Amino acid sequence: MKWTSPNSWFLIIFGVYIMNDFLKESAIGLDQIQNVDQLWQAVIKCRLHDNPPIPISDVLAMEQIYDQLSPSLTVQDMANVFSGVYIDSYWQDDGQHPEVMAHHLTEALGIPYATTLTYARNAMRQWRGVLCRKNKYDTGIVPQAVYTDSLDIVCNQDVPLTPQQLISQWESEFYKTPKVGKNYIYTRCQNRAFNGKISHAKVQMFYADGGFNQPPSSWVQCRTVDGGKQQGEVLNERGGLALLTMGDRGVSEGFILDLRTPQHVCMVSTVSYPFFSKNNPLTYTTGNWNSAQWIQYNGAMAWRNVDPQLKSGDESLVFHNQDATPEQFSFVLKCRRVPPGSKLRMYSEDPAAIFDSGLVNVVNNFQELHVSTIAPPHYAGHLKLHLEGPDGKLLPSDAAVDISMLWCVPHSHPHYLQAVTLLGAAHAVPALQSVHMPLGNFTLLGAGE
């Protein structure tokens, strides 16, 4: 056993007293925290303190802040604030884990775990921090059911845009189909429900072959226009570095998307900042479950899978099985204003994961096609499509098809109960029914006359 001198024990104990005194006097700075605004400032001060430079864990911060909390404030108020300020403490690969916060609240406050788990789950239903909209209706509620049509990923081909244009016209789509060659791309973001200042936000942007469930290893990282950096700054409307208070909006500096051939692409962006430094997709553990969770529960990322048909009736989209086991997947094609008489087909010619819907004649504007297959471990394949209008050419420009990839999770799967909870499919459990996890959506727009 290693011997510790009395002086060492004195320093350790003395350090704890210094820590406690520092928290009460400097981090809290108040005899009593009277309202939610003061609660935010107290928690932020704990998280970002630098004098003395002793890390303050969320558990210790909870203990000290609760001691100063007015009776008018609740543990739920605390959980709400900690979910935004200490998000790095609860983030594990695939998203925020309410059970981690619940254990920490129980340790700090002595409240039963069943109660703190409710507080944590309630807190994490609202994203509190930098938000990129996954769709035009996204207000930060997580998870988002529609997450591959982001309004905040911008492409303007070879014409640059200013921060003033992108922020002042916040609801404008600002998206042109990427051309072969270099394209200017941007990411918009905002401070949603975080009652404090967020600075030093950094953006990464990527693209991947168009399709579904692509692991980050298949993504291509884009670089900034200025300096060729992998991470870009978030700017305010005047073009300076953004300091985002609650409700403020920002946009990244420009990135370059360089395409060498005509192709369908998925575009992905992430925003990291001092409270959420773990937001780096290149570091998370891949897998079907992690990928689905990360996309749906990460408010500070955006994904865009919307593209017109190429100048052909035949299309190809990639799909992946990220797991080390064979897994069953299905594809659902939903028509939007596709005229009767059109002909559609989904198929794969790869013997390892072969399927074919056959050539289907459209008889109503909102028809659906379904196919399924079992993909081998760590598989990358191609979903092929034939989309032909009634005139034998491309689908008309006001038509579209939405293709979804679903992962069939059987009752024997390790993630079955988690999938049931995520999907709200408790009815499937007594009968041991499989459930179907969405793994992405791709929209192809008609490009005919």
Task: Check if the beta carbon of residue 64 is closer than 8 Å to that of residue 24.
Answer: yes
CATH number at residue 372: 2.60.40
Regarding whether 328 and 428 lie in a shared domain, the answer is: yes
Burial (CB count <10 Å: 0-12, 13-18, 19+), residue 392: exposed
Domain carrying residue 31: 6-125
Cα–Cα distance measured from residue 416 to residue 405, given in angstroms and rounded to the nearest whole number: 18
Does a structural domain hold residue 422?
Answer: yes
Judge whether residue 15 has pLDDT over 50.
Answer: no
Share of the chain above pLDDT 70, in %: 92
Is the model's pLDDT at 311 over the cut of 90?
Answer: no
Asked if residue 427 is part of any domain, the answer here is yes
237 and 320 share one domain: no
Q: Could you give the angle at which helices 36-48 and 75-85 cross, rounded to 10 degrees? A: 40
Q: What is the mean pLDDT of residues 143-168?
A: 95
Residue 49 banded pLDDT, cuts 50, 70, 90 = confident
Q: Would you state the pLDDT for residue 4?
A: 42
CA angle 208–209–211, rounded 5-degree value? 105
- Do 37 and 167 share a domain, yes or no? no
In a domain, 178, yes or no: yes
- Whether residue 99 is found in the same domain as residue 203: no
Residue 109 lies in a domain: yes
How high is the mean pLDDT of the chain?
A: 91
Among 278, 305, 332, the domain boundary falls at: 305
User: Can you give the pLDDT at residue 106?
Assistant: 98
Give the number of domains in the chain. Answer: 3
Instruction: Indicate whether 300 and 313 sit together in one domain.
Output: no
Mean pLDDT of 153-161: 96
- CA of 89: how far to CAs of 83, 93, 100, 101, 120, in Å? 9, 12, 8, 8, 13
| pLDDT value of residue 22 | 47
**Residue 253: inside a domain, yes or no?**
yes
Could you tell me the pLDDT band of residue 50, with boundaries at 50, 70 and 90? low
Q: Please state, for a pLDDT cut of 90, what percent of the chain lies above it.
A: 82
pLDDT value at position 30? 59
- End-of-domain residue from the set 305, 327, 347: 305
Residue 1 inside a domain? The answer is no
Shared domain check, 175 and 106: no
Q: Are residues 198 and 259 in the same domain?
A: yes
User: Based on the domain organization, do 221 and 106 belong to the same domain?
Assistant: no
Provide the pLDDT confidence category of residue 66 given band limits of 50, 70 and 90. very high
- The reply to whether 259 falls in a domain is yes
**What gap in Å lies between CA 321 and CA 337, rounded to an integer?**
31
47-68 b/e (C-beta count within 10 Å ≥ 16 → b): bebeeeeeebebbbbbbbbbeb
Residue 319 included in any domain: yes
pLDDT recorded at residue 77: 98
Task: For 188-202, write each residue's pLDDT tens digit.
Answer: 999 999 999 999 999
Please name every residue paired with 321 in a beta bridge, in sequence order, or none if there are none: 379
Domain boundary among 305, 326, 352: 305
Same structural domain for residues 254 and 337?
no
Q: What is the mean pLDDT of residues 296-312?
A: 89
369-422: per-residue pLDDT in tens?
999 999 999 999 999 999 999 999 999 999 999 999 999 999 999 999 999 988
């459930």: which residue's tokens?
A: 435
Q: How far apart are the first and last CA of the chain?
A: 82
Give the model confidence (pLDDT) of 337-374 as tens digits. 999 999 999 999 999 999 999 999 999 988 999 999 99
**pLDDT confidence band for 52 (50 / 70 / 90):** low
CA gyration radius for the chain? 25
- On whether both 436 and 334 belong to a single domain, the answer is yes
Map tokens 């010619």 to a residue.
349
Token pair of 388 as six digits? 């032909």
Kindly state whether residues 367 and 421 are assigned to the same domain. Answer: yes
Same domain, 87 and 200: no
